[in-house]
Chains A and B, each alone.
Chain A
Amino acid sequence: MTGPLLQIENVGKRFGGFVALDGINLTVAHGERVGLIGPNGSGKSTLVNCMCGTLQNETGRVMFDGRLMNGMSAHQRARRGMARSFQLPRPFVTLSVAENLRIPLLYAAHARRGHHLTHEEIENRCHELAGLVGLAAKANRLPRDLTQVEMRKLELARAVAVDPKLLIADEAMAGLSQSEVDEIVALLITMNERGVTIIMIEHIMRAVMAFSQRLVVLVTGKKIADGPPQEVVSHPEVIGAYLGQ
């Protein structure tokens, strides 16, 4: 496979008169682990929404895996291998934990395996995924029986269930304990080693530094830094943006 996996060119998005994204350029290579940081309200989630088709960008283009994504719906992008977790978990409230995980397996994962998964494969994978994030014991529970932290884990596991080429984790670790953060970081790194490209949005700097091979910083809808993590965090503009918050 030649060329980058994800290529974002001059992507812009407004909400009314408010400019949420102002000409973002970002390229992510196959197999990369990218950290995306920035103060609250800087447009990180909006950028994810534009990448994944939850929102359509007004200017610029989103290229994924050699194809133009503009105008493509979110489910088509998911089937092509883009998965994301939502910052505020959005579980299917009338479905159990296992059933929540079953949805991407039924509707998206087969696209990359080249065949519809058998009933048995789906069952096994559901339980494997629930186990991966420590929800095995609650597989048959409803989301309303989960704690906030468990809900985040479910959210992440459901994105993993898409069997993506690119996984975008939008603040999946907020509220998790240190050891849980380490577990999730380890999980993401393992997935990455198996070939999944990952963009991680996170405020927990320990996790960001442990995870990222490259760091991108967004401030008020603009990209202000992009490079090796150590360099980026010592960048005066980045320090200014965080201290000024």
Chain B
Amino acid sequence: MRSLVFYIVSILVGAALFGFARWLGNDYLFFAGYTVLQFIVLATAWNILGGYCGYVNFGSAAFFAAGAYSSVALHKLAAGIDRYVPESLAGLAHTILPLPIPVLIVIGGIVAGLIGLGTGYLTLRLRGAFFAIATLALAVVLQTLIVNWDFVGGSRGAYIIRPSEVPIIGSYIQYLFLIMLVLSILAIIAARAIEQSRLGYGFATIRDDETAAEACGVPTLRLKLIATTLSGALMGMAGAPFPYYIGYLEPGSAFGLAYTVNSIAMPMIGGTTSWVGPLVGALLLGTLQQIATVTISSAVNLLIVGLLLVGFVIVAPKGIVGLVQDFMRERGPEGSEPTWRTRLATFANMRPGAR
């Protein structure tokens, strides 16, 4: 019941957002909004592994790029069917390629999810800083592979020719915005569902104490693999439409430091134990960076993120959610009627122990 209300509210908020943006009718709004939404997906994805399980991933950019480059590869394949596809299959290839973006998102998600699974396997017994360093190494390895893969443009990068119009919606950027809006709603719904499930409790025990978790029957290694796969897949899904958004993709932009830093900073600033944290963090930091880009320069973006992160780590280590929660959790005597505060806290699935 609570979930049904949540789904309806999410869809209504999404629809209102899209309707409002269309009513304003400024394409720049869609460009900027797309980036913020993309960060909501990335931050939510990072948080599944980093916030729920306590494994800090420094390789977000690699998963994002894996999604982006799987789209580029399929785009190149579509453009060169007669060169790359055997004649017997060319007819079929012409009818299904180029693939629509939602399909590319699914494929990007699968590719990045598999990379996540592989990363999980390779780092199964690494914890803390060792895990973080391993994910960083993964990003370097993957970037090197892409730079040397000529089919997707190598270090030169690849141009993606996108249609200027789509049926029904009209402008292409509005179409991309809508897709990312739907994806971010799905990501949040998924994150919230995980938190409230058996899986979410299992993740929390991994974050708190793996030895104790095992003694309670939690299959920690398997859950860790599920987390790396889910988190990676979601990041890849965020990256899949990116080549169509940017128009020209080079390894430097797909593997940009901004993705790694933001996907860590946004949940940390928002708060890591509830789906609300990454959402709030991404909205705040994403919007701030968009404003800074137009008013000052995009060069200051990472500076802003870095300063805010340091500030929050010192002043409010539990993030914004933690600050609000201390206020929400003020409760009456045991067994008293729930107030709007406790209701809201329950709705947001805010744990009293959030860090």
**B residues apposed to A, CB below 8 Å:** 198, 201-202, 204-205, 207-209, 211-221, 273, 334, 351-355
Could you list 13 further interchain pairs (A-B, Cβ under 8 angstroms) beyond the known A75-B217, A93-B209, A103-B201? A53-B214, A54-B215, A75-B216, A94-B273, A94-B351, A103-B202, A103-B213, A106-B202, A107-B219, A108-B216, A140-B334, A142-B352, A159-B215
A38 CA / B273 CA spacing, docked (Å):
42
Is the C-beta of A229 less than 8 angstroms from some C-beta in chain B?
Answer: no
In the complex, 14 of the A-B residue pairs with CB atoms within 8 angstroms, ordered by the A residue number, are: A73-B221, A74-B211, A75-B214, A75-B215, A76-B219, A79-B217, A92-B212, A92-B213, A95-B205, A107-B218, A107-B219, A137-B334, A142-B353, A161-B216
Are A104 and B351 in contact, CB atoms less than 8 angstroms apart? no
Instruction: Please give me the residue from chain B that is nearest to A141 by CB atom.
Output: B352
Are A108 and B217 in contact, CB atoms less than 8 angstroms apart? yes
Chain B proximity mask over A69-91: 1 for CB below 8 Å, otherwise 0: 00001111011000110100011
A140 CA / B331 CA spacing, docked (Å):
12
A73 CA / B216 CA spacing, docked (Å):
12
Are B354 and A94 in contact, CB atoms less than 8 angstroms apart? yes
Distance in angstroms from A124 CB to nearest chain B CB is 17
Is the C-beta of A59 less than 8 angstroms from some C-beta in chain B?
Answer: no
Instruction: Please give me the residue from chain B that is nearest to A86 by CB atom.
Output: B212
Are A107 and B353 in contact, CB atoms less than 8 angstroms apart? no
Instruction: Please give me the residue from chain B that is nearest to A93 by CB atom.
Output: B208
Which residues of the partner chain B approach A94 to less than 8 Å between Cβ atoms?
204, 207-208, 273, 351, 353-355
Which residues of the partner chain B approach A75 to less than 8 Å between Cβ atoms?
213-220
Instruction: Please give me the residue from chain B that is nearest to A89 by CB atom.
Output: B212
Which residues of the partner chain A approach B220 to less than 8 Å between Cβ atoms?
75
Instruction: Please give me the residue from chain B that is nearest to A85 by CB atom.
Output: B215
Are B353 and A95 in contact, CB atoms less than 8 angstroms apart? yes
Instruction: Please give me the residue from chain A that is nearest to B206 by CB atom.
Output: A92
Instruction: Please give me the residue from chain B that is nearest to A80 by CB atom.
Output: B217
Are B212 and A90 in contact, CB atoms less than 8 angstroms apart? yes
A75 CA / B201 CA spacing, docked (Å):
15
Distance in angstroms from B139 CB to nearest chain A CB is 29
Are A78 and B215 in contact, CB atoms less than 8 angstroms apart? yes
Query: Shortest 8 CB-CB distances between A and B: which pairs?
Result: A108-B217, A94-B353, A74-B214, A107-B217, A90-B212, A92-B208, A78-B217, A104-B216
Q: How many A-B residue pairs have CB under 8 A?
A: 96
Which residues of the partner chain B approach A78 to less than 8 Å between Cβ atoms?
214-217
Which residues of the partner chain A approach B209 to less than 8 Å between Cβ atoms?
90-93
Are A107 and B354 in contact, CB atoms less than 8 angstroms apart? no
Which residues of the partner chain B approach A152 to less than 8 Å between Cβ atoms?
none
Chain B proximity mask over A154-198: 1 for CB below 8 Å, otherwise 0: 000011011000000000000000000000000000000000000
Chain B proximity mask over A40-52: 1 for CB below 8 Å, otherwise 0: 0000000000001
Distance in angstroms from A125 CB to nearest chain B CB is 14
Which residues of the partner chain A approach B207 to less than 8 Å between Cβ atoms?
94
A73 CA / B124 CA spacing, docked (Å):
14
Are A99 and B201 in contact, CB atoms less than 8 angstroms apart? yes
Instruction: Please give me the residue from chain B that is nearest to A138 by CB atom.
Output: B334
Instruction: Please give me the residue from chain B that is nearest to A110 by CB atom.
Output: B217
Which residues of the partner chain A approach B221 to less than 8 Å between Cβ atoms?
73
Are A92 and B215 in contact, CB atoms less than 8 angstroms apart? no
Which residues of the partner chain B approach A159 to less than 8 Å between Cβ atoms?
215
Are A54 and B201 in contact, CB atoms less than 8 angstroms apart? no
Which residues of the partner chain B approach A83 to less than 8 Å between Cβ atoms?
215
Is the C-beta of A111 less than 8 angstroms from some C-beta in chain B?
Answer: yes
Is the C-beta of A25 less than 8 angstroms from some C-beta in chain B?
Answer: no
A106 CA / B197 CA spacing, docked (Å):
10
Are A162 and B217 in contact, CB atoms less than 8 angstroms apart? yes
A54 CA / B214 CA spacing, docked (Å):
8
Given contacts A93-B208, A102-B201, A106-B202, whether A84 and B215 have CB atoms under 8 Å apart is yes
Distance in angstroms from A115 CB to nearest chain B CB is 14
Distance in angstroms from A8 CB to nearest chain B CB is 18
A162 CA / B215 CA spacing, docked (Å):
9
A26 CA / B156 CA spacing, docked (Å):
69
Instruction: Please give me the residue from chain A that is nearest to B217 by CB atom.
Output: A108
A161 CA / B205 CA spacing, docked (Å):
15
Distance in angstroms from B267 CB to nearest chain A CB is 15
Are A106 and B198 in contact, CB atoms less than 8 angstroms apart? yes
Which residues of the partner chain A approach B354 to less than 8 Å between Cβ atoms?
94
Which residues of the partner chain B approach A10 to less than 8 Å between Cβ atoms?
none
Chain B proximity mask over A223-238: 1 for CB below 8 Å, otherwise 0: 0000000000000000
Is the C-beta of A220 less than 8 angstroms from some C-beta in chain B?
Answer: no
Distance in angstroms from B352 CB to nearest chain A CB is 6
Instruction: Please give me the residue from chain B that is nearest to A142 by CB atom.
Output: B353
Which residues of the partner chain A approach B211 to less than 8 Å between Cβ atoms?
54, 74, 86, 90
Distance in angstroms from A17 CB to nearest chain B CB is 24
Distance in angstroms from A52 CB to nearest chain B CB is 6
Which residues of the partner chain B approach A93 to less than 8 Å between Cβ atoms?
208-209, 353
Which residues of the partner chain B approach A99 to less than 8 Å between Cβ atoms?
201, 204
Distance in angstroms from A92 CB to nearest chain B CB is 4
A107 CA / B205 CA spacing, docked (Å):
11
